[in-house]
């Protein structure tokens, strides 16, 4: 009964139902793997008592023949999700000690479907980052290394702990969130699959807000099938989120036929960047060939406003963040600075926020404050919202012309070394999201699928972008790509 | 548009984040780098384009204007750094 933690969700689900092992045994295997993984710094709050209690309850349901979709399957939960009575601090000092009195809708949906929570996962502070280096818990570490070189690499961000934990088989799957690429970029850096659904598919209720018009939750898993299973459980209408879509959720797993004959796959010429590493271009060409061989029609397309997506994002996301993070005032929850004699409420706010927020979060809150301030609102914020409309129209035009999905690289490089970008301009770090951020701005579903390795053995991912609300079709195209790519490499265990 | 030290101080004040005097020049510098990046948007012709308000076209749902939850002062106050007698406590606001 070894290595149960290495199973996929689908394998473990089927074997639990066949009574080959119990959820308690499976959960214990994961807890043991978590226990031995401190070098990865992926799990930051462990909840073994909750996990075992949930596993025992799942075993009872399995025994009675009343097992829901994810019964007994152990997951890691990104620290951004509020989990009742369990630390949920968005990897920020300002939420130190915060114990939510409520459960996020997404985690509640997972628990209602029988899932088991192993603990909370590392991330960039308030999901602001692409390398998991802005976390109050310290860096999460990628289980992958460059050949025999032991330089620690980033698992990507902001869902870096989720990516590291799934790639290292500490859990069967994890929740992530994606505002500009925070599911898809770390998935690509760690050789796993991650999908950001259409804006409105997953309730944002109980998920610590970063940029509300862009934030979406999604699964990070070991296979496309697992993403289909877990996404279906996470989704659904929620009256507590006014942007939650009141649409039926299809059976995504049943849509995985692998048949994509006749599907039209768009290849956007603007995504072929100057100076893009040759290995990324080669991977993209391989992906095009694979989909073509599977019977898809390949069509070059144009998304003319692509180059404006990152600057648009870096107006809209900080603007919304400055508004959302106004709630951290040292009054209702989290950290409050120690005050000096005579300090009033303004000093309390200013000292609390200076102590509680890390550097990147402070920078974004202040940039957002600036672009929303009197005199600049039209020039920056309103202009960015107009360009966002144009970016969305670019996608609408190609979908109207018959394109079913768009294939792009997921990231402009493989995982880089922790600290390697620390001297760089923040904009260099922002460029990590160059292929993913358009999808958030247009509210579309996007999935990252591991498709190859670079010369140093690091995983590389391809992204597929789908039509709104057609995650099932997108997952099926991803499934065909996964089968053609046949990526089955795993990181060698060193931790 | 170039941001100077005084503008950086004003933005920090608006954001209610204390920034020490000697950190202001670096902060102004960082703002300028990011704003230069954002300035690219001025190249785009946005005449007649509606600013996006909702990425998915849907009407804001409404509900009856009635109390749905309430009377939970205990849980609401449970995470407060300073709560007294059923209230959040803050430093003196009114002299």
Q: In chain B, what are the domain boundaries?
A: 5-42
Mean pLDDT (chain A, rounded): 97
User: CA–CA separation, A427 vs B37, rounded Å?
Assistant: 8
Measure in Å the smallest separation between the Cα of B83 and chain A Cα atoms: 9
**What share of chain A in percent tops pLDDT 90?**
96
**Can you give the pLDDT at residue B68?**
86
CB atoms within 10 A of CB A345: 17
Contacts of A176 (CB under 8 A, 6+ apart): A78, A159, A162, A163, A182, A183, A186, A187, A194, A217, A218, A219, A220
Catalytic residue among A78, A120, A196, A263: A78
B24 CB neighbours in chain A (<8 A) are: none
Taking a C-beta distance cutoff of 8 angstroms, is the pair B89, B83 a contact? yes
Contact list in B for residue A382 (CB cut-off 8 A) is 51
Q: Which residue of A has its CA nearest to B31?
A: A367
Q: Tell me how far apart the alpha carbons of residues A393 and A390 are, in angstroms, rounded to a whole number.
A: 5
Rounded distance between C-alpha atoms, residue A22 and residue A28, angstroms: 10
Q: What is the pLDDT of residues A177-198, one digit of tens each?
A: 999 999 999 999 999 999 999 9
Q: What six digits make up the tokens of A151?
A: 């330089």
pLDDT for residue A2: 64
The whole-number average pLDDT for the span A49-71 is: 97
pTM above 0.95, yes or no: yes
pLDDT band at A430 (very low <50, low <70, confident <90, very high): confident
Q: What is the pLDDT of residues A131-190, one digit of tens each?
A: 999 999 999 999 999 999 999 999 999 999 999 999 999 999 999 999 999 999 999 999
**Of residues A311, A354, A441, nearest to B17 (C-beta):** A354
Q: What is the pLDDT of residue A93?
A: 98
Q: Which of A350, A367, A384 sits opposite B41 (nearest CB)?
A: A384
> Predicted confidence band at A423 (pLDDT cuts at 50, 70, 90)?
confident
pLDDT the model gives residue B65: 93
Alpha-carbon span A271 to A391, nearest angstrom? 14
Q: Flag whether pLDDT at A61 surpasses 70.
A: yes
A78 is catalytic: yes
Nearest CA to A216 among A192, A229, A193, A234?
A: A234
ipTM confidence: 0.95
The answer to whether A264 touches A299, Cβ cutoff 8 Å, is: yes
SS (H, E, C) chain A: CCCHHHCCHHHHHHHHHCCCCCHHHHHHHHHHHHHCCHHHCCEEEECHHHHHHHHHHHHHHHHCCCCCCCCCCEEEEECCECECCECCCCCCHHHCCCCCCCCCHHHHHHHHCCCEEEEEECCCHHHCCCCCCCCCCCCCCCCCCCCCCCCCECCCCCCHHHHHHHHCCCCCEEEEEECCCCCHHHHHHHCCEEEECCCCCCCCCCECCCCCCCCEEEEEECCHHHHHHHHHHHCCCCCCCCCCCCCCCCCCHHHCCCCCCCCEEEEEHHHCCCCCCHHHHHHHHHHHHHHHHCCCEEEEECCCCHHHHHHHHHHHHHHHHHHHHHHCCCCCCCCCCCCCCCCCHHHHHHHHHHHHCCHHHHHHHHHHHHHHCCCCHHHHHHHHHHHHHHHHHHHHHHHHCCCCEEEEECCCCCCCECCCCCCCCHHHHHHHHCCCHHHHHHCCCEEEEEEEECCCCCEEEEEEEECCCCHHHHHHHHHHHHHHHCCCCCCCCCC
Instruction: Give the Cβ contact number of residue A483 at 10 Å.
Output: 13
**What per-residue confidence (pLDDT) applies to A354?**
98
**pLDDT tens string A437-467:** 999 999 999 999 999 999 999 999 999 999 9
The CATH number given to A1-495 is 3.90.1300.10
Asked if A199 and A243 count as a contact pair (C-beta separation under 8 A), the reply is: yes
- Is A351 catalytic? The answer is no
Which chain A residue has the Cα nearest residue B32? A367
Predicted local distance difference test score (pLDDT) of residue A50: 98
| CA distance to partner chain A, nearest, from residue B14 (Å) | 7
Nearest to A156 by CA among A170, A144, A172: A144
- A191: closest CA of chain B, how far (Å): 30
The answer to whether the beta carbons of residues A461 and A451 sit under 8 Å apart is: yes
Q: Which 8-state DSSP code applies to residue B79? A: T
Q: How confident is the model at residue B1, as a pLDDT?
A: 58
Instruction: Please give the pLDDT value at position B95.
Output: 67
Q: Convert the pLDDT of each residue in A199-209 to its tens digit.
A: 999 999 999 99
- The Cα–Cα gap between A183 and A211 comes to 15
A1 pLDDT exceeds 60?
no
**From the centroid of its chain, how far is CA A168?**
16
* Mean of pLDDT values over A100-126: 98
Place of tokens 């029609």: A297
- Supply A283's token pair: 């991977």
Give yes or no for a contact between A451 and A481, defined as CB atoms under 8 angstroms apart: yes
Arithmetic mean of pLDDT, A27-41: 98
Residues in chain A with CB shorter than 8 Å from the CB of B84 are none
Instruction: Please give the residue of chain B at the shortest CA–CA distance from A392.
Output: B55
Q: Model confidence over A333-342: pLDDT tens digits?
A: 999 999 999 9
- Residue of B18, B33, B40 to mutate when probing chain A, most A C-beta within 10 A: B18
**Calpha distance A476→A296 (Å, rounded):** 12
C-alpha span between A474 and A459 (Å, rounded): 22
Q: Is A222 a catalytic residue?
A: no
A369, B51: Cβ pair inside 8 Å? no
Q: A334 burial class (0-12, 13-18, 19+ CB within 10 angstroms)?
A: buried
What token pair was written down for A105?
A: 């809708």
CB-CB under 8 Å, A443 with B16: no
B41 CB neighbours in chain A (<8 A) are 308, 311-312, 315, 380, 383-384, 387
Q: Which residues of A touch B49 (CB under 8 A)?
A: 386-387, 389-390
Query: Which of A104, A131, A162, A182 is flagged as catalytic?
Result: A182
CB contact under 8 Å between A98 and B79, yes or no, is yes
């Amino acid at each position: 009964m070894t290595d149960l933690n290495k199973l996929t969700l689908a394998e473990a689900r089927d074997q639990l139902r066949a009574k080959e092992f119990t959820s308690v045994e499976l959960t214990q295997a994961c807890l043991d793997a978590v226990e031995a993984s401190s070098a990865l710094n992926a799990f930051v709050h462990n909840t073994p008592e909750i996990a075992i209690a949930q596993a025992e309850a799942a075993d009872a349901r399995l025994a009675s023949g009343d097992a829901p979709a994810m019964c007994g399957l152990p997951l890691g939960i990104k620290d951004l999700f509020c989990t009742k009575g369990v630390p949920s601090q968005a990897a920020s000092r300002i939420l130190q000690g915060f114990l939510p009195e409520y459960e996020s809708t997404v985690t509640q949906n997972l628990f209602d479907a029988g899932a088991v929570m192993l603990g909370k996962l590392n991330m960039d502070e308030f999901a602001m980052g692409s390398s998991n280096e802005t976390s109050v818990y310290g860096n999460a570490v990628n289980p992958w290394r460059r050949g025999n070189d032991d330089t620690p690499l980033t698992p990507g961000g902001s869902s870096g702990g989720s990516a590291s934990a799934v790639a290292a088989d500490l859990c069967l799957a994890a929740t992530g969130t994606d505002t500009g690429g925070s599911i898809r970029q770390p998935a690509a850096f760690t050789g796993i699959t991650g999908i950001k659904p259409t804006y409105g598919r997953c309730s944002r209720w109980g998920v610590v807000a970063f940029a509300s018009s862009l934030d979406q939750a999604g699964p990070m898993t070991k296979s496309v099938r697992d993403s289909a299973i877990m996404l279906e459980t996470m989704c659904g209408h929620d009256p507590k989120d006014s942007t939650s879509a009141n649409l039926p959720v299809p059976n995504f797993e049943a849509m995985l036929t692998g048949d994509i004959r006749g599907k039209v796959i768009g290849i956007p010429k603007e995504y072929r960047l100057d100076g893009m590493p040759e290995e990324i271009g080669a991977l993209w060409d391989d992906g095009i060939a694979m989909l073509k061989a599977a019977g898809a029609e390949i069509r070059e397309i144009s998304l003319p406003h692509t180059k404006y997506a990152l600057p648009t994002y870096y107006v809209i996301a900080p603007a919304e963040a400055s508004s959302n993070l106004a709630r951290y005032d040292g009054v209702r929850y989290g950290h409050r600075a120690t005050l000096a004699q005579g300090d009033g409420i303004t000093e309390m706010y200013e000292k609390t926020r200076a102590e509680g927020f890390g550097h990147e979060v402070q920078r974004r809150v202040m940039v957002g404050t600036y672009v929303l301030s009197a005199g600049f609102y039209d020039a920056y914020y309103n202009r960015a919202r107009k360009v966002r409309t144009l970016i969305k129209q670019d996608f609408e035009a190609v979908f109207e012309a018959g394109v079913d999905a768009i294939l792009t690289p997921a990231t402009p490089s493989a995982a880089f070394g922790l600290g390697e970008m620390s001297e760089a301009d923040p904009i260099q770090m922002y460029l990590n999201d160059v292929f993913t951020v358009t999808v958030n701005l247009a509210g579309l579903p996007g999935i990252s699928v591991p498709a190859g390795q670079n010369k140093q053995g690091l995983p590389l991912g391809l992204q597929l972008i789908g039509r709104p609300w057609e995650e099932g079709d997108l997952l099926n195209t991803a499934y065909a790509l996964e089968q053609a790519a046949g990526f089955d490499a795993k990181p060698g265990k060193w931790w | 548009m170039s941001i100077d030290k005084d503008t950086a101080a004003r933005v920090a004040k608006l954001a209610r984040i204390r920034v020490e005097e000697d950190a202001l020049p670096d902060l102004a510098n960082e703002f300028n780098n990011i704003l230069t990046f954002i300035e690219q948007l001025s190249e785009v012709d946005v005449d007649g384009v509606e600013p996006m308000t909702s990425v998915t076209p849907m009407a804001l749902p409404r509900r009856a204007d009635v109390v749905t939850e309430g009377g939970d002062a205990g849980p609401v106050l449970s995470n407060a750094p300073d709560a007294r007698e059923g209230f959040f406590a803050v430093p003196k606001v009114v002299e």
